[in-house]
Chains A and B, each alone.
Chain A
Amino acid sequence: MASALQLVGIRKSFDGALALDGASFESQAGEVHALLGENGAGKSSLMNVAAGLYAPDAGSISIDGAPIALSGPAAARQHGIGMVHQHFKLVKPFTVAENVLLANPQPHFASGIRNIRAAIEQQVGELKFSIDPDRRIDTMTVAEQQQVEIVKVLVGGAKILILDEPTAVLTDAEAIGLLEIVRRLARAGTAVVLVTHKLQDVKRFADRVTIMRGGKTVAKLDPRHASAEELTELTVGQTSALPERSPHEGGPTRLNVGTLCYTRGDGRVMLDNASFHVRAGEIYGIAGVSGNGQAELAEALIGAIEPSSGEIWLDGTGDISRAGQTKRREAKIAAIPADRYAYALAGSLPISDNLAVAQIRSGRYGSVVKLDRAAMRQDALAAIADYDVQGVRSVGQKASLLSGGNAQKLVIAREFSREPDVVVAHSPSRGLDVRACAAVHQRLIAARERGAAIVLISEDLDEVLSLSDRIGVMSRGTIVGEFERPADRQAIGRAMVDHG
């Protein structure tokens, strides 16, 4: 039987940098085929080639054994290849039906939208989704938006469905729901390609796995006959375990959040009397189903939003909930936000500037009159070496050219350069591969050992469980329960859901 999708010897370079170096891939109809690899291994690039977004420099693509040339995404769609990108391609103020129509053009709008609506109803019924075609995208949760993306490509008649990091944005329960749908689609004869860096997903849901490293295909095997260690070894070479942590000593309270409230512009109450405290040398984890106020809590802590009421009290500084940036910076608070490019980096500016900006006021990089570029350069080179930031050709390179994991290391290098007393980390390992993730965790543990108070807000329960000394469960804008280490996963899970 010919492969549903076959890519052979694909090469692709971007302005001289080789992203794909003779990569190959093939998948069969009716199977879930995982494409596993670290960030920057070339998984997404390879699938973008299959989806017609990138034109390969060399290599061939064939569908059902017949070689094809893709002139663009539309051509890929005609050949039955549909891709759901990691960052959804949906028009937020449009309804579901309008978005699906946009991707599957019809000759006339009025009749088109009727046909589309019928097609959506049919797909939604088969997949057992609960999507109303007339709802606007911006009123939907991330998981629902993802369902819209899937419906969108299926309505287009996709026989090959590529999902790029589909579980990255989902909670545990949502991810399992999605992967079950994926299995069902495969049973119905679709060739599903699951691009991921999560071993769990691969072990539980894939029939076969292709592993990529450094733009090349390194292995193809049956995940049920391979151990997690083998798969990890193939993906990254080797991994490092979490460093030893000293038993908790319980220092003085460094950070106290008291009855913090925040109402969003649209009137929705996002923080509702949230209270907790964090001691020196302690990692306080905040777990919860996403959308229960964690993002707003993080934003209030790092000063991106001003809470409506309540206090954020810091030992030695006082309440900073409404303080200016100067006072915040003096308080030595380190901010590691979830959305790196929105809150932590200026992508169009050089790496060295991004590193220097937080300390420019201290005079370390020259006076008001004259910047000291040499000092910036020197510190940047040191930080890049210290924090193992990969992919840096020069410190003058734009920060946006770094991959997710390396951009995160850059943020941490800057934020930790001032030996912070308080660290606020929101989903610090989101979208990072195993190695980058381990590096980030090591840094957090190191800060804990140094005596910093750390707030770790994460939707990844495993991350919270493995790092935290105490865990607060957040639901509907407030902390509904606290658990000491070692915490019971089941109990936390119940607390997350019961109040949600």
Chain B
Amino acid sequence: MISPAPSASRGLGRVTLDVRQDLSPWKQAAFVGASLIFGLAISIVILAVAGIPPLTLASELAGVLTAENLSGVLVQAAPLILVGLGASLAFRIGFWNLGIEGQMIFGGIFAAAISIYDIGPQATRLVLMGSAAALGGALWVLLVAFLKTRFRVNEIIATLLLNYVAMYFLFHLLYGAWQDAKTAFPQSTPFRPFERLGDIGYGVNSGLLIAIAGVLAAGWLIHLSRIGFYTRFISANPRMAKIVGVPVQTATIWIIAASGACSGLAGFVNVASQEGRLTQSYANGYVFSGVLIAFLSRNDPIVIAIVGFLIAVLFITGQTLQVFYQIPFTMVQMIEAIIVMAVASSEFLIRHRIRWLR
């Protein structure tokens, strides 16, 4: 149905809303882009009021994008892209996976277990750690998938609360069996060099390769594969999907597992590149980032790569501003929120057309 037109008649004419029949992807992108610019403009004004003139901001941004800082951005981008993928896959079938942090933690734990128990030859050690991490993340989310399909447990609550279970299990390991004996800090012994994701040249960390592989795999899964076709029906009309013969349950389980695997890989990338060991905080804050990236990219894997990169730029810039201009980190979060709201409102313009009638 067309929504009723809320209109005020003042002689000049009135505004009516039409539901758009369809809009080309390019025009949709233009709307999102314009809203993004609008959100950024507001953010620039706020930062200017807070004492950072736009020119300084521009030079800081340019600084972040120089060759030496760019590698830092890319290291940050890899896990962000992976959690974005994890969130988006689950959202595509209406499974609200807010357990990204828990899945990252289990990804890290599984990867670390391979290192700690010295499993497999050195040459394939990283591959094994990565696979174990994906498996760990997948298993942790499948627990909830099982609870949801079997007992109709709400996955929002279950995934969110299991983050704490995962976190305390991690603490249990780090303060107990896996504690670094040498330093007595609550972290594992460092991974050996062949267990770490190193640079692949030009200052690019190999974690980024995993993220790019994830983007390509998810892109294939969603856009080209049969299971991607099924997911569109499952999210559009699950009842109908079942009746026309879509294997709803099987497809759902696989997509949820893939979602957990992506988050698990993000955990692996963090422990094996930045940290070099299992720490307490390598998963902190990624739920919000994952949801944000998935939302801004409208669950499209290719767009997630771009948005993940931009969020990484924002993070690194935010850190710089924090250090050099005493801007509180909440300011960075506020800018994030402003951008989210701007993009969210673009959705309205994509769905509706505003017309001026005389």
* Residues on A facing B (Cβ under 8 Å): 14-17, 48, 52-55, 57, 69, 71-73, 302-304, 325-326, 328-329, 335, 337, 341-349, 353, 356-358, 360-361, 366-371, 393, 396-398, 401, 414
Contacts and interface: CB of A to CB of B under 8 A. Distances in A.
B148 interface: no
A15 B245 contact: no
B18 A14 contact: yes
B34 interface: no
Chain B interface size, under 10 / 10 to 19 / 20 to 34 / 35 or more: 35 or more
Interface string B212-244: 000000000000111111101100110111111
A349 B7 contact: no
B4 A368 contact: no
Contacts of A397: 21-22
B246 interface: yes
15 contacts: A14-B21, A52-B4, A53-B4, A71-B8, A72-B7, A304-B239, A325-B245, A325-B246, A328-B245, A337-B243, A357-B233, A357-B245, A368-B227, A371-B229, A397-B22
Contacts of A302: 243
B2 A349 contact: no
A337 B242 CA distance: 13
B245 A361 contact: yes
A46 B295 CA distance: 39
Nearest to A376: B229
B192 interface: no
B247 A326 contact: yes
Contacts, number: 118
B49 interface: no
Q: Is the interface of B mostly helix, strand, loop or mixed?
A: mixed
Contact of A53 (B2, B226, B241, B244): B2
Contact of B245 (A52, A353, A358, A367): A358
B225 A368 contact: yes
A162 B206 CA distance: 68
Contacts of B233: 346, 349, 353, 357
B313 to A, nearest CB: 33
Contacts of B357: 55, 57
Contact of A367 (B2, B226, B237): B226
B81 to A, nearest CB: 23
Contacts of A361: 245, 247
A358 B233 CA distance: 11
B237 A346 contact: yes
Given A15-B21, A346-B236, A368 B226 contact: yes
A360 B227 CA distance: 10
A150 to B, nearest CB: 20
Contacts of A356: 229
A263 to B, nearest CB: 20
Given A54-B2, A325-B242, A343-B243, A371 B224 contact: yes
Contacts of B230: 360
A343 B19 contact: no
B234 to A, nearest CB: 9
Given A55-B14, A328-B245, A346-B237, A72 B5 contact: yes
Contact of A357 (B6, B8, B244): B244
Contact of A72 (B4, B224, B244): B4
B59 to A, nearest CB: 45
Contacts of A73: 4
The 5 closest A-B pairs by CB, nearest first: A346-B236, A329-B245, A346-B237, A15-B21, A55-B16
B239 A342 contact: yes
B243 A335 contact: yes
Given A15-B19, A346-B233, A370 B225 contact: yes
B20 interface: yes
A48 B4 CA distance: 10
